[in-house]
Structure formats: structure tokens, C-alpha cells
Amino acid sequence: MTPDDFFRGLRSGGGQAIPCLRLLRLTADYFDGLRTEVMTLVRTQAASDVRDAAHVTNWTRPRGSVRQFSLFNASGRFDDFSTDHDGSCFGKRFHNGTAYPAIARFIDGFPHAVNFRMNVMGPGGRLAPHEENVFIRTQAGSIGARVRCHLPVVTNDLAELMLDGGIYHLEPGIIYFVNHGCVHSARNGGAEDRIHLVWDMLLTRDAFELMFGVLVPDFSAIRIPAGEQTPQPVRIERTGAWLRLPRMEPQSETGELAWCEVQ
């Protein structure tokens, strides 16, 4: 995929956007180690509760058990979500690499991340349909983008993601680009927790090359061939009413997109 193709897919509306793409498959041994660390962290550490009215993600109207572990911040607290959506990649890191080396290696493999979260959705948990901002104003004054990825760690056949009316089931061990500029929601109809690693990156040249180009990841993964990157929805549903954040940049729908520059 060329940058122009991707930019066009980010900007398109009316159901014409790129909803999600399969990008990288973690090798079995590495994914097993990562999953073991994730399960240990979930079992032993304190999370934030997205149902708390003060939570930065509470506007998505969570129902049931929806917890978040913030992995990438200045404080090192897993329940500290205060800078998850400030748009900055500076002054943040994963503080627990000694205890969780596979997670640390994974997080370190992604350039210009602004957050890294572990989302745990219990049986019957859900987020209401909502739409977020993909486009941002860069430090240089141009229009750039912030892109989101998911890695399902624990899932089930009844854990679903809705993107512009398409219902998708994301497979464990595969890194997906997920377009959070689409109207989207999540629900877990299964009997066990659904656990995803979710992170946002500034769309720099390095981030694009890792996602779609020739950069070799620092962790053990195999690139999904271009012809296999586009998953098909398992069914289509009416989107209905949805929540929307105020647009950050009114001109972002028409302005020329540029790479984010991070110095």
C-alpha cells in the first residue's frame, strides 16, 4: 500500500474508509511468552475502571466490566490514564521491563507511540458506537494523523468489533490497523475476558514503513502478504446513533495530509 492509498483510506467517509487491516503475525513462541506476561500483569496489577465518570474513555458509555492498564506513561502506574490521549510521545515509557521483558520488547518496537493500553473487557462488556479524531495539527502546522493498532491477546468467537456497520472478529496474535475515525464499538458476548493491546502512533514515515513497508520489527513477527491484509466482516449491521468527539481540526477533511515529524 502506498502512502497516498493509505491517506485516502483514512480520509474517506460514507463507508468508503479503510476499516481495518491485518499487518503482522507474531511468531508462536514469542506470542506465547507475551500472552503469559499479559495474563500475569492482569492478575497481579491494578487497573483503571473505564466505568468511572472521571476516566478519559468513559465518554464511550462502557457497560459491564471494562478495565484498562496504561502501559506507557511517565508515572509507571498501570492505573494512570492521565496522558493516554494528550497526543505526545515524549516523557513516556514502559517502566516494568524487568518483570515483563516480552511486553517491553513489543512496546519498544513501535516508533512514536503516544499511548499503549491493555484493554480488558469482561463477559457481556461493551462500548457504545463512537467516532474519534484521526487527524491532528502537527508541530509544523500541517495536517497529520494518529493511527491505532490492536493486538488481540485473549479473545473468543463472540468478541466483536464494529467498524462502520461491519462486524469483525480479530484473531489472536495478529497486529491490526483499526481505523478509529470509523464509527466503531466493541462487545464481548463470550464467557471469558477479551484482552487486547491497543496503541496509537503518530503517522511518521517510520511508523508507516513498519506498518506497510520494509522496516523489520524488533520483535518476532511475520508480515502479512498484501493480498491477505483486508479482513472481511462476518456480517453487516445498522450503525444507528453514535457518539462523536468534537473535531480537532475543521480543515482536516480537506487539507493536505503530511507526515508527522518528531524530533
Domain ranges in the chain?
3-74+111-253
Which range, 15-24, 48-57, 237-246, is most confident? 48-57
pLDDT of residue 15: 64
pLDDT of residue 44: 98
pLDDT of residue 262: 84
Indicate the length of the chain as a whole number.
263
As beta bridge partners, residue 177 has 21, 149
Specify the pTM: 0.95
Residue 84 has pLDDT above 90, yes or no: yes
**Confidence band of 14 (pLDDT split at 50, 70, 90):** low
CB 106 within 8 A of CB 34: yes
Could you name the CATH architecture of 3-74+111-253? Answer: Sandwich (2.60)
Measured CA distances, 19 to 88, 236, 257 (Å) = 24, 13, 19
Nearby residues of 184 by Cβ (< 8 Å), 6 or more positions away: 129, 130, 131, 161, 162, 163, 164, 178
